[in-house]
Amino acid sequence: MESRISKVFYRSILILLPIICFLICIGVGRYGLGHKDALRVLADIVLHGKASVAKREYSIIINTRLSRISLALICGGGLAVAGVALQSVFSNPLVSPDTLGVASGASFGAALALLFKANLFAVQISALLFGIIACAITYTVSRVKGGQNTIMLILSGIIVGSLFQAFVSMVKYVADTDEILPNITYWLMGSLYTSNWKSIIMGAPPIIICSFILFMVRWKTNVLSLSEDEAKSLGMNIRYMRLALILCSSVITSSVVSMCGQIGWIGLLMPHMCRLIFGSDNLKVIPASISFGAVFLLICDTFSRSMTVTEVPVSILTALVGAPIFLMLLRNTGGNI
DSSP string, 144-200: BTTB--HHHHHHHHHHHHHHHHHHHHHHHHHS-TTTHHHHHHHHHH--STT--HHHH
- pLDDT exceeds cutoff 90 at 10: no
Which architecture, in CATH terms, is 2-331? Orthogonal Bundle (1.10)
34-43 tens-digit pLDDT = 778 888 888 8
* pLDDT score recorded for residue 297: 95
Q: Indicate the pLDDT class of residue 322, thresholds 50, 70 and 90.
A: confident
In this predicted model, which residue has the larger pLDDT, 305 or 291?
A: 291
* pLDDT score recorded for residue 234: 67
206-246 tens-digit pLDDT = 999 999 999 998 888 887 766 666 666 666 777 788 888 98
Q: Indicate the pLDDT class of residue 2, thresholds 50, 70 and 90.
A: very low
Separation between Cα atoms, residue 213 and residue 81, nearest integer Å:
10
Separation in Å, CA 135 to CA 98, 122, 158, 210, 268:
10, 20, 11, 15, 19
Residue type, 124: Q
* pLDDT score recorded for residue 294: 95
Burial of 335 per CB tally in 10 Å (0-12, 13-18, 19+): exposed
Specify which of 197-211, 214-228, 323-337 reaches the highest per-range mean pLDDT. 197-211
- pLDDT exceeds cutoff 90 at 74: yes
* pLDDT score recorded for residue 30: 77
- Name the CA radius of gyration of the chain, rounded: 21
In this predicted model, which residue has the larger pLDDT, 161 or 50?
A: 161
Contacts of 174 (CB under 8 A, 6+ apart): 115
243-300 tens-digit pLDDT = 889 889 989 998 998 888 889 889 888 998 888 888 888 888 999 999 999 999 999 9
Burial of 254 per CB tally in 10 Å (0-12, 13-18, 19+): buried
Angle at CA of residue 220, ends 217 and 223, nearest 5°: 165
In this predicted model, which residue has the larger pLDDT, 23 or 121?
A: 23
- The lowest-confidence range among 101-105, 117-121, 315-319 is 117-121
- pLDDT exceeds cutoff 60 at 335: no
DSSP per residue over 262-311, as a string? ---SHHHHHHHHHHHHH-S-HHHHHHHHHHHHHHHHHHHHHHHHHSSSSP
**How confident is the prediction for the chain on average, in pLDDT?**
84
- pLDDT exceeds cutoff 50 at 182: yes
Check residue 28 and report its DSSP letter.
-
* pLDDT score recorded for residue 333: 66
